[in-house]
Structure 1
Amino acid sequence: MFRLEAEVDPVRRDILRGRLRETNTAASSVLRALRGTPHEREVPLHVWLMDERDEVAGGLVGHTWASWLHVTYLWVDARHRGAGLGSRLLAEAERLAAGHRGCRSVRLETWDFQAPDFYRRHGYQVVCVIEDYPPGITEYTLVKHLR
């Protein structure tokens, strides 16, 4: 019997994620080689920019896995933009990923109206372009090799 549900069940989600990882690891010698290494699991990497009132003025949220940093979110409050703070957040995340986590590369996604040029200026290269995702917007996947 099949049951379609719109709500997320975290227990079933984690079961599915675990079983998919087991299947992938069994099929890939590269993923099997990660077992028992620091790169085996996703580890959060967050860098925060706090203002004078100790409120979030910006931040970078991502995780490291398999020698890669994946940047999920990078944001700086409009009041603080133009002062190089986004560049500092990105540089600090790259430094931590390379120095403390042994990462060799970074990947991220951004939309055409967000920051593709910002990332290009920081050495990122476009590796994938998806037009009309969502409709009327272009999504870019960019990567940077740290070493």
Structure 2
Amino acid sequence: MTEPNYWLMKSEPDAYSIDTLKNDGVTLWDGIRNYQARNFMRKMNKGDKVFFYHSNCKPPGIVGLMEVIDLNIVDPTQFDQDSKYFDPKSKPDNPRWDCVKVEYKFKSDKILSLPELKILFNEDELLVVKKGNRLSILPVRNDTAKILLEKI
């Protein structure tokens, strides 16, 4: 079996937190409306590991781990007119947005904060430390992931 790929996915804790995922067990990672982030998600495989990153909070950082368990799911929020992720240009016969299903693995004992990540890694090693990076889904190099797994 091949080694899993690693990813980092951001969520604001007041929108969807690691504790919510722990309670839910699994969730669709929906609402992605950036083509580059969507395209990263399309490169995911079942079994890939994902670092859960709380963003837009103090301090932002990695708070746990999840695993990709299902792929290429049509994002239902794009068709829901009551959703903030509704996309009137997306059609059921030709959807623009899809998502993956992730499963909770564990919550870190402590947050691995962005300031700590900036000390440990440069932007070539971990994209989330790059100034101005706003993407909600990012690939993580395997060598970087191994270090992160030891820290969380």
Say yes or no: TM over 0.5. no
Interval containing the TM-score (normalised by the shorter chain): under 0.3
TM-score of the aligned structures, taking structure 2 as reference length: 0.25
Whichever of the two has the greater Rg, that structure is: 1
TM-score of the aligned structures, taking structure 1 as reference length: 0.26
Flag the structure with higher helix content. 1
If asked which structure has higher relative contact order (CA below 8 Å, sep 6+), I would say 2
